[in-house]
Chains A and B, each alone.
Chain A
C-alpha cells in the first residue's frame, strides 16, 4: 500500500534490516522508537516514571551504539545476568532472519529471573486450574481433625474446622488469579478505550476524560475500593468489578500519551487522507502500535490487583468465606491463637501471594525490556 511508503521515514537508519523486518511483519513498525519516546515526553504526570530514550535506533546497528542504548534504556530494567556492560564478547547469533516474536522470546530469555518466574507461575497456574483434579480433599469438606498440624495425610495441616489447608490453598489460588486477571482485563479495556478517545479526538473529550482521570486518581486507591466494597456487597464478582473500575486511570493516561504521538505520524495522517474509516484508524492502525506498553503496564496492574484482592479479603471486605481466596485465608491470622500456634494456616497463603506477585513483576520487567524497540539485540 501507499501508506507504507509514507511511513518510510520512520526508519532513519539501517534500512536493509528494517526492510526485512517489515517484510516479515507486513505492517508498519509494530513498535516505533518515536512512539515510545513520545509517551515519555508528551504525556503528563505519571509517565515521568518511564525511562527516556534518546536515539532512534533499530536493530542491527553497530555494536558501540548498541551498548550505549542498553545503558540508557535499562534504567528501570533489571537483568538476571550482566549482559549490558559488555556485549562484545558474546557469541553473535544470526538475527537477520528472525521473526519479531523470536526476537522477543530471545530477549526475554536473557532475564534468568524472569524465565524462572515464568516457569514457577506456569506451575502455580496449572495447579490452580487443575485444582479439582489435584486437590486431595474437597476445599469445603470437614476432612480431618480441627486445626491439625501438617502431617502425612494433610500436607499443610487442617484449619479450625477441619478443612484441608492444601486443598483450600489450591482453590484459593484459582479464585485470586481469576479476580486478578478479570479485574486487569476490565480495567485495561476501559483504560484503552478512554485513552484512545481522549488522545485521538483531543479537545473537549480529552479535557473531560483527563480531568475525570485526575479525580479518580486523587482518591486513595485502597480507600476507594474499600468504600465501594462496603456499599456493594462484598463478594467475588463485585470485587472484580470494583477493582476493574478503579484501576483504569494509569492505562488511560499511557494510551492517551501514545495516541497523541501516533496521531502526528505519517502513516496515521496517510490513513486520514486516504479516507479510511475511523474504526480502522483507531483499532487497526493506532492500537497495534501501542500494544507493547499496554501489555507491560497490564502486568503491573495484574500484580496490584492480586495484592489488592488479598488485602480486601484479609480485611473481610473481599471474597467471602466459605469460598477461599489467598487473602481471606490470612484473615484468620488476625486472631492471636492462629498467629502464634498455627503458623501453617497463614504462612503458606502469604508466601504464595508473595511468590505469585513477584513472579508477575519480574515477568513484566523482562517483557518491558524484550518489547522495547530500542532494546538492542
Chain B
C-alpha cells in the first residue's frame, strides 16, 4: 500500500511541473504586462526600465524559474487592477466558493446515491425510467439556463428567494440569510452533477448486483433488504468515491458560471471579473490553484479507492 501511494505521488510530480509550465506558457501567450504601461505619456526609457525591473529581459527559461521560485514562496504575483497580491485575493474569495461547492456536492450525493441505487435495484421499472430520464435532463440542461428559470420563478414571480449575493445588504448576516441565498445556486449545481452521478452509480450498482457474492447472499436466504442494503451498499462505496473525485473539476468549472449568474462573491466571480479585465496574474493564479486541487483530489481518490477495494491491484 505504501509503495502504491508513493508511486502515485511520484507520477503526480511531473504532472504538477507540467501544469506550472502550461500555466506559465499561457501567461506568456497572453502578452507581457508592459503592454498595460504603454501609452503616449510613457517614455520608451521608462518602459525599458520597467522591463528590466520586472526581469523581462532575461531568457524565458530563467523567467520561468524565477516565477516558480516565487510560487514556492506562496507568491502568485500581483493583480494588474487592484495591485493586491493574488494569493490574498484568492484567500479572501475562497471561503464562499468552498461553502457553495461543499454543500452542492453533499446535496448532489444525497440525491444521486439513493436514486442510483433504487434505480439499479428496480431496473426497468417505472421508477427506474423516471429517474434515468431525469438524470439525462440534469446533464442536458445548461446550468445558466436553469439558474435563469429558477430566478424567474422563485425571485421574480414568487418573490421567495433572493437572486444575488451571499447576504442581504445592510442587515445582520446570519446563517439563515446565507442559507437562503444559497438555495438556488446549490440546486443548479447539485442538479447538473446528480444527472451524471445517478447514471454512474446505477451502472456500478447493477454490476455489483451481478456479482457471485451477492448471489450467494441471496441463496443463503437472508432477505432482499439485507442483501441490498448491507452487502451491496457496502461495495457501492467504491464507485461513490470515484464520483466524488470526478466531481471536483466539474465543481470548479460550474462554480465560475453559477457564481457569475448569482453574483456569489467567490472565486468564480473574481475569476470572471479578472477575465473581463484581462487581469492575467489573477486568472493564472486561479487556474494553477484549481489544477493543483484537481490533481490532489485525483490522487486522494486513487488512494482511497485502493484502500476501500482490496481487490484492486496496486501495480
Contact = CB atoms under 8 A, between A and B. Distances in A.
A315 B272 contact: yes
A123 B250 CA distance: 32
A319 interface: no
Nearest to B245: A45
Residue of B136, B239, B242, B250 with most partner-chain A CB within 10 A: B136
A56 interface: no
Interface stretch (A25-33, A146-154, A164-172, A219-227): A219-227
B148 A350 contact: yes
B252 A223 contact: yes
Given A71-B210, A211-B15, A221 B200 contact: no
B70 interface: no
Interface string B17-54: 01100100010011100000000000000000000000
Contact of B142 (A71, A223, A354): A354
Contacts of A211: 11, 14-15, 18
A339 interface: yes
B129 A78 contact: yes
A222 to B, nearest CB: 3
A358 B200 contact: no
Interface residues of A, number: 59
B177 interface: no
Interface residues of B, number: 63
A340 B149 CA distance: 10
B294 interface: yes
B290 interface: yes
Contacts of B292: 218
A216 B206 CA distance: 32
A164 to B, nearest CB: 22
B283 A353 contact: no
Interface in A212-246: 212, 214-224, 226-228, 230-231
Contacts of A45: 298
A118 interface: no
Contacts, number: 166
B275 A310 contact: no
Nearest to A365: B136
Interface string B156-179: 100000000000000000000000
A212 B18 contact: yes
Interface stretch (A16-24, A46-54, A263-271): A46-54
A37 to B, nearest CB: 13
Interface string A327-343: 10010011000011001
B57 interface: no
A71 B206 contact: yes
Nearest to A360: B140
Contact of B140 (A218, A227, A358): A358
A218 B15 contact: yes
A316 B137 CA distance: 25
Given A72-B207, A75-B207, A340-B156, 9 more contacts: A76-B199, A76-B200, A84-B123, A211-B18, A216-B22, A230-B30, A327-B142, A358-B140, A361-B136
Interface of A: 45, 48-49, 51-52, 71-72, 74-79, 82, 84-85, 113, 211-212, 214-224, 226-228, 230-231, 303, 307, 310-311, 314-317, 327, 330, 333-334, 339-340, 343, 346, 350, 353-354, 357-358, 361-362, 365
6 contacts: A51-B206, A71-B123, A75-B202, A76-B203, A220-B294, A354-B140
